[in-house]
Amino acid sequence: MLASKRILLIIGGGIAAYKSLDLIRRLQEHGAQVTPVLTRAAEEFVTPLSVSALAGQKAYRDLFDLTDEAEMGHIQLSRSADLIVVAPATADMMGKMAAGLANDLASTLLMATDTPVLCAPAMNVRMWDHPATQRNLKQLQQDGIRFVGPNEGDMACGEYGAGRMSEPLEIVAAVEAHLADGPLKGKRILVTSGPTHEPIDPVRYIANRSSGAQGTAVARALAALGADVVFVTGPADVPPPQGVQVVQVETAQQMSDAVDAALPVNAGVFAAAVADWKVATASDRKLKKSRDGLPSLEFAENPDILKRVSQMGAGRPDLVVGFAAETDDVIDNATAKRARKGCDWIVANDVSPATGIMGGSENAVVLISDQGAESWPRMGKDMVAARLAQKIADALAG
Ligand code: C5P
């Protein structure tokens, strides 16, 4: 529920603005108060009258409206909410936010605020895929802006792909996750997840069978307890959770850089199946079959992210949790790994093919800590995640 939560809803100028009318209703049904702001372009898609009628309050439109300044200045307006939601966040709006421009009411509010911001992007698939938008997305994620969506599907412009604004109820779920009260409220937690892809050439890569299911479940469970989660994920099979800050990477080196950018955090959970090796000299041209025989690949070691973070002095998270995927002698190997890496806990599991754990929906883990080994019964990955999140909450509180 969002009882008594105040949402400042900035409606950008895109066709998805019609969904923002429904979003106002859904947020209100969940108990939130919605103060709407329209950009000039948004008024081409929805009228201020319908927006203010649904919100039950004035729709703010103009930076230089002196009545507004007398009633509530733009600085105060920007800080009066528990959360700012930008829906739809157009390519133009994301560009302005990333560049720090403030030339209308919406962009000025976003610059002046110290309130968390959640964006629901909506645009044509080419605009979403454009390097400029992707660059802006990365920048905004690094600035701490949260994202929900976009989804993939048919678009109003007749094309198909990523760029559809999330449905109003998905946005409400992301708002709820963000505003969730719980034992981890105010704690910033990093989660790595999924496999990494190490390029051989522009079309081939080395990967592993990690689906990202367990890491995703852990991130979702931590967010449900109120944590501010930074989710650094390789190319996973499952979609990232709602309401967390998602940073998408491909290689181990990119994951390592994204982890550095996310620090400092109160806790780090390293659930990613990071490739131990990369191809030392990945080719920038596709390798050809040749008469010279088979190509030989030379490997180089990837950074060990868990080890580095565990062994950093100043700035080390209070709690560092590693994962260990083992196929034999699980407890002995995981105990040795905990010591070698220097992390606080290791969540160890047996991934031998017979268990069906890798890529499956269940997990049977042993938690290794300085207290020894604690075996948990086989249960759904969501249950493992919930139990781990609660243990992390207890440890950070203690
Ligand atoms: O050494 P091993 O790969 O078995 O260790 C697994 C743990 O270490 C996992 O928590 C994984 O996320 C982390 N790891 C890492 N960077 C690497 C290799 C593993 O963070 N290069």
Pairing state of beta strands 345-350 and 362-363?
unpaired
Q: How far is the CA of 343 from the centre of ligand 1 (A)?
A: 11
Residue nearest to atom 5 of ligand 1 (CA): 324
What are the sequence ranges of the domains in the chain? 1-179, 181-398
Please name the CATH architecture into which domain 181-398 falls.
Answer: 3-Layer(aba) Sandwich (3.40)
Amino acid at 397: A
Widest Cα–Cα separation across the chain: 79
Per-residue pLDDT at 71 = 64
Q: Assess whether the C-beta atom of 270 lies below 6 angstroms from ligand 1.
A: yes
Task: Look up 343 and say whether it is catalytic.
Answer: no
- Of 239, 209, 194, the closest CA to residue 359 belongs to 209
Q: Assess whether the C-beta atom of 305 lies below 6 angstroms from ligand 1.
A: yes
The ligand 1 atom at the shortest distance from the C-alpha of residue 323 is: 10
Residue 74 has pLDDT above 90, yes or no: no
pLDDT band at 143 (very low <50, low <70, confident <90, very high): confident
Residue nearest to atom 17 of ligand 1 (CA): 304
Instruction: Name the helix (H) or strand (E) containing 147.
Output: strand 146-147
**Of 157, 280, 300, 339, which residue is the catalytic one?**
157
- Section 165-179 average pLDDT: 90
Q: Which residue has the higher pLDDT, 68 or 48?
A: 48
Residue 131, helix vs strand vs coil: helix
| SS3 of the chain: helix, strand, coil, percent, to 5 | 35, 25, 40
Q: Assess whether the C-beta atom of 302 lies below 6 angstroms from ligand 1.
A: yes
Residue whose CB lies within 8 A of the most ligand 1 atoms, among 197, 304, 347, 367, for a mutation test: 304
Residue nearest to atom 6 of ligand 1 (CA): 324
- Section 178-192 average pLDDT: 91
Residue whose CB lies within 8 A of the most ligand 1 atoms, among 196, 274, 330, for a mutation test: 274
pLDDT band at 70 (very low <50, low <70, confident <90, very high): low
pLDDT band at 79 (very low <50, low <70, confident <90, very high): confident
Residue 357 has pLDDT above 80, yes or no: no
Per-residue pLDDT at 244 = 83
Contact 45, 14 (CB under 8 A): yes
* pLDDT tens by residue, 83-105: 999 999 999 999 999 999 999 99
Residue 68 has pLDDT above 80, yes or no: no
CATH code that applies to domain 1-179: 3.40.50.1950
Residues of the chain above pLDDT 70, percent: 97
Per-residue pLDDT at 228 = 87
Q: Do domains 1-179 and 181-398 have the same CATH topology?
A: yes
Residue 108 has pLDDT above 90, yes or no: yes
Q: How far is the CA of 31 from the centre of ligand 1 (A)?
A: 43
Q: Assess whether the C-beta atom of 306 lies below 6 angstroms from ligand 1.
A: yes
Any idea which of 141-145, 288-292, 339-343, 376-380 has the lowest mean pLDDT?
288-292
Residue nearest to atom 21 of ligand 1 (CA): 304
Any idea which of 174-183, 225-234, 288-297, 368-377 has the lowest mean pLDDT?
288-297
